[in-house]
Amino acid sequence: METLRCLISDIPQKLLSDIILSITQQHENIEVVDHVSSSEELDSILSKQSIDVLILGLKSQPFPDVCKDLLEKFSDLLILGLFDDGRLAAVYLDDVGSHEIVKIINTFGNRRDE
């Protein structure tokens, strides 16, 4: 399995940041190449390095109310949101654990071969 190069950014809670680092470091095929606290650095880093996965902390907005409502009722539901013409997507999951984070990285991280 090819190594996936990850960049972590904007995760304001130190505990969550430490958990994400720990999860990714436990898997030989995931390499965290950098960990930054501000998205202001992303353009520079992404221009200079080959990154497969950006793990980006986001504020709860704009978290669509319909997704929030559905996940509160159906916590096992995976929501794939398609925006505009369908070329932009977001995945919404509730109660994400380390297994899910690694699976998402492994499943969607290496798009170079497509």
pLDDT tens per residue, range 14-33 = 888 899 999 999 999 999 99
pLDDT of residue 34: 92
- Parallel/antiparallel/unpaired status of strands 4-9 and 53-56: parallel
Q: How far is Cα 45 from Cα 33, in angstroms, rounded to an integer?
A: 10
State which H helix or E strand residue 66 sits in. helix 65-73
pLDDT of residue 60: 61
Query: Whole-angstrom Cα distance, residue 76 to residue 95?
Result: 8
All domains of the chain in start order, with CATH = 4-108 (3.40.50)
How is residue 36 annotated by DSSP? E
Please state the φ and ψ torsions of residue 54, each to the nearest 5 degrees: -105, 120
Is residue 16 a contact partner of residue 41, using CB atoms and an 8 Å limit?
no
For residue 107, the cross-strand partners are: none
> DSSP label at 8?
E
How far is Cα 30 from Cα 106, in angstroms, rounded to an integer?
8
Low-confidence residues of the chain, pLDDT below 70?
60-62, 86, 112-114
Nearest to 106 by CA among 49, 30, 20: 30
